[in-house]
Amino acid sequence: MSFLLVVLIGVLFAAGTYLLLQRSLTQIVLGIGVLANGVNMLILATSARQGTPPIVEGNEPPFTDPVPQALVLTAIVIGFALTAFLTALAWRLWTIEGHDLVEDDIEDRMVARRLISDHHRDVRDREDVDIDSSEDGSPA
């Protein structure tokens, strides 16, 4: 395994992770694609037993281990289907919302907003009391 491949895998993982952390679904889809390629490279680079190509006539063993390639081929197909589905989701979100930003949980937002408004009301009430008590004095 060459050093260059290791660096490439690292870069793919890092870029994929960075893109996954974005708010826009399109960027997330791209991130998943990059990350999936990183994983595929990882499998190919770490687990391939080097040798001559199998099946081809006249080649002598040791053959290259075909199993990692079979694994990666399956993984690529699955990754392709997932990317297609996610792109469809992003499109649907865009037609409904006009943007493709991933939102927080709606229920959580409502709870948070309720808490904030309660807090504001408390603060306002307290300030009102302060103002009442200091009407003739310096500004509150």
Partner 1 sequence: MNAVLALPIIAPLVGAALTIMFRHSILQRIISFTALSISLISAIIITVDVSRDTDIAVSRLGGWPANIAITLVADRLAAMLLLISVSLLVIVLCFAIGQGARDEHSPIYHPVYLVLAAGISQAFLAGDLFNLFVAFELMLMASYVLLTLDGTDKQIKSGVTYVVLNVLKSLLLLTAVGLIFAATGTVSMSELPELLAALPVGVRTGLNLLLLVAFGIKAAVFPLYFWLPDSYPSAPSSVTAVFAGLLTKVGVYGIIRTETLLFPGNQANLLLWVAAFTMVVGVIGALAQSQMKRILSFHIISQIGYIVMGVALGTKAALAATVFYLMHHIPVKASLFLVEGIVERETGETEFDKVGGLARRSGFFALLFMIPALSLAGIPPFSGFLAKYSLLRAGFDGDQWLIIGIAIAVSLLTLISMTKIWIGLFWGEIMPPVPAERVGILRHHQLMTLSSAVLIAGTLGVAFMANPLYEFCVGAAEQLINPMMYVKAVRGS
Q: Does 35 bind partner 1 (CB under 8 A)?
A: yes
Q: Give burial (CB, 10 Å; 0-12/13-18/19+) of 103.
A: exposed
Stretch that binds partner 1, among 55-63, 76-84, 121-129, 132-140 (CB under 8 A): 76-84
Q: Does 78 bind partner 1 (CB under 8 A)?
A: yes
- The rounded Cα 35 to chain-centroid distance in angstroms is 9
In this complex, which beta carbon is closest to partner 1, that of residue 62 or of residue 131? 62
Stretch that binds partner 1, among 56-64, 102-110, 118-126, 129-137 (CB under 8 A): 102-110
Q: Which ranges in 56-134 belong to alpha helices (H)? A: 67-97, 106-133
Helix (H, G, I), strand (E, B) or coil at 80: helix
Which residues neighbour 24 within 8 Å (Cβ) at sequence distance 6 or greater? 99, 100, 101, 102
Binding site for partner 1 (CB under 8 A): 20, 25, 28, 32, 35-36, 39, 42-43, 46-47, 67-68, 71, 74-75, 78, 81-82, 85-86, 89, 92-93, 96-97, 102-103, 105-108, 111
